[in-house]
Chain A
Amino acid sequence: DAKTTQPPSMDCAEGRAANLPCNHSTISGNEYVYWYRQIHSQGPQYIIHGLKNNETNEMASLIITEDRKSSTLILPHATLRDTAVYYCIVRAFMDTGRRALTFGSGTRLQVQP
């Protein structure tokens, strides 16, 4: 799976949009971009994923650049409960055989009241 680079930490004011960047410059054409988050001592929570097009669901939006070398996760109205570590993962296990989700260091998002 391609390596991802994320800022180690970010702050966001409650009620404002949180924009979390991820660089995946070595992504291959069949690798999906996934976002998960993990609150301490809980299991990872799936947020969203995409291949080429931008995606939106009830939790967030995923913006993928045209060259697919980077993406941004957008939480439109951050709340205190969004404070967590956010992981960007690129994945294509059908080719690599590596099924395990490879979590990097992630971005620790702190939502401030």
Chain B
Amino acid sequence: DGGITQSPKYLFRKEGQNVTLSCEQNLNHDAMYWYRQDPGQGLRLIYYSQIVNDFQKGDIAEGYSVSREKKESFPLTVTSAQKNPTAFYLCASSIRDSDNQPQHFGDGTRLSIL
């Protein structure tokens, strides 16, 4: 089945540690996105990529990094510089980065600080 796979579902990070969240899609979509969702709040855009080998900062990129070396993969690294990393992280993709193309989401990774 085509879709977006995020792993792991739950992740724990120690203080000062970098962690990488995986996002893979087999939908042949050009655009991919990373969002953060905090309890009772909406989505905030961290990074997005319109095409392979290119990515742009979203609204809250500080403390995060990404890469887009393959069309199907868009991993997110939460660095130790991110002071409040506990959140629900969502990856999404769309055929292309456009108003008229829906974004399809994975089931998320819940990151917690030990």
A21 at the B interface (CB under 8 A): no
| Contact string against B for A residues 86-103, beta-carbon threshold 8 Å, 1 for contact and 0 otherwise | 000001111000011111
Q: Does A43 contact B (CB under 8 A)?
A: yes
Inter-subunit contact A43/B90 (CB<8 Å): yes
A46 touches B45 (CB 8 A): no
Residues on A with beta carbons closer than 8 Å to the beta carbon of B48 = 99
Question: Are A101 and B103 in touch, CB under 8 angstroms?
Answer: yes
Contact between A44 and B99 (Cβ–Cβ < 8 Å)? Answer: no
| Cβ-defined contact, A43 with B106, below 8 A | yes
Q: Are B107 and A101 in contact (CB under 8 A)?
A: no
Q: How far is the CB of A90 from chain B (nearest CB, A)?
A: 10
Question: Which of B90, B98, B102 makes the CB contact (< 8 A) with A34?
Answer: B102
Chain A contact residues: helix, strand, loop or mixed: loop
What residues on B are CB-neighbors of A31 within 8 Å? Answer: 99
Greatest chain B CB density within 10 A among A31, A94, A104 is at A94
Interfacial chain B residues near A68, Cβ < 8 Å: none
B44 located at the interface, meaning its Cβ lies under 8 Å from any Cβ of chain A in the complex:
yes
Decide if B98 touches A45 in the complex (CB within 8 Å): no
- CB <8 Å contact, A92 and B58: no
Contacts of B90 in A (CB 8 A): 43-44
Chain A residues within 8 Å of B, Cβ to Cβ: 30-32, 34, 41-46, 49, 51, 91-94, 99-104
Give the A-binding residues of B (Cβ under 8 A).
4, 6, 33, 35, 42-45, 48, 58-59, 88, 90, 92, 97-100, 102-108, 110
Task: Please name 9 pairs of A and B residues whose Cβ atoms are closer than 8 Å in the assembled complex, sorted by A.
Answer: A30-B99, A34-B102, A41-B88, A46-B104, A46-B105, A92-B99, A93-B99, A100-B58, A102-B42
